[in-house]
Amino acid sequence: MSRNHQEPNVPSTLRVDCDGQMIVTRRWGCGDKHAVILHGFPDDADSMALVGEALAAHGYTVWAPFLRGYAPSACAHDGRYDVTELTKDISCLLTHIQARECVLLGHDWGAVLAYAVSALGHHAVARVIGLSVPPVPCFVRAIYGSRKQRILSRYMLTFQVAGFAEARLRRHNFQGIESLWQQWSPHWQIPTSRIQGVKATFAQPGTVESALSYYRAARPGVSKRRRNNWQLMNARPTHPVICLVGQNDHCILSESFQSVEYPVHRVPDAGHFLPLEAPQAIVSVVLNSC
């Protein structure tokens, strides 16, 4: 289907070679305004569909890539899953799709990447909307300052244990992934078709290992690569930023956004998975921030 005749709610699929890294992206709409949505963990690009469809209906062209290592995108061609390399993928994608005055939205890990892409000052980005995760320095302060947040974030330490973490996610037909969704959005009825779609993504060879590698590559360290990566994760965005967080988020607490200097919208009756639980709240913020 050609771009000029694409229906807003029917995504097309593109394969993009980002300097040797193959990235697959969904696209909705064909409007003059541009938006890119980055998914998080444990999730995939198809969870961005409700936001993509709604923005397309408002005149946007919307792209939602499967991040490096998340099938059908390829596993890392260079074995790297650090933020430095992940932001290169997104920057390359922005250039390839000829994005302009782009709203860059990121959920969970996607938010971390959106802040980092902004810190690099990519010319195509106009503003950043971070969903469910505050800028990294604010999150670090929240972990140190809140015992409850430290308890909720213990899964990140578990993910450092190679072999055990992979097995835990895969157990009982990926019940480990569904359990995280239930824990992080405890008052939400998870759509069966969507969680099954996410499990299908993680069942593809290499996806579980790739997803966990994001956490392992994020550890601070003394090597030059780890120092540079940590510096980028903590760098200040260069574009206007708006954050959204669900008031019932049991992964990253709403209170963990207290030190965020940017506008923060707290979404009532929503947990961690805002693109699925509260798509209209996200769309409203995008439209009102133009």
- The CATH number of the domain where 259 resides is what? 3.40.50.1820
Q: What gap in Å lies between CA 36 and CA 110, rounded to an integer?
A: 10
CA–CA gap between residue 265 and residue 257 (Å, rounded): 10
Distance CA 96, CA 25 (A): 12
Q: Model pTM greater than 0.85?
A: yes
Return phi, psi of residue 107, to 5°. -110, 130
Rounded to whole angstroms, the Cα distance separating 22 from 45 reads: 15
H or E segment and range at residue 228: helix 224-233
Q: Tokens representing 206?
A: 């290499």
User: Residue 254 and residue 181: Cα distance in Å, rounded?
Assistant: 17
How much is the pLDDT for 96?
A: 96
d(CA 27, CA 56): 9
Q: Which residue range(s) make up the domain with 165?
A: 3-288
pLDDT at 2: 38
- Measure the CA–CA gap between 82 and 230, rounded to whole angstroms: 9
Quote the CA–CA distance of 46 and 220 in Å, as a whole number. Answer: 31
Amino acid at 116: A
CA separation for the pair 280, 176 (Å, rounded): 29
Going by the DSSP 8-state scheme, the letter that residue 9 receives in this structure is T
pLDDT of residue 6: 52
Q: What are phi and psi of 17, to 5 degrees?
A: -90, 105
pLDDT of residue 222: 79
Instruction: Give residue 10's pLDDT.
Output: 75
Question: What is the reported pLDDT for 260?
Answer: 97
Burial class (CB in 10 A: 0-12, 13-18, 19+), 180: middle
CA geometry: angle 131, 247, 244, nearest 5 deg: 20
The pLDDT of residue 1: 36
Report mean pLDDT in 10-residue bins for the chain, 290 residues: 52 95 97 97 98 97 98 97 97 96 98 98 97 97 96 96 96 96 97 98 98 96 90 97 98 97 98 98 94
Question: Of 18, 201, 35, 175, which is closest to residue 106 (Cα–Cα)?
Answer: 35
d(CA 42, CA 60): 26
Selection from 187, 184, 237, 226 nearest residue 40 by Cα: 184
Q: How far apart are CA 103 and CA 126, in angstroms?
A: 6
Closest CA relative to residue 270, chosen from 149, 162, 198, 184: 184
Instruction: Return the exposure string of 249-260: e unless at least 16 CB atoms fall within 10 Å of the residue's CB, then b.
Output: bbbbbbbbbeeb
DSSP single-letter state for residue 41: T
Structural domains in the chain (count): 1
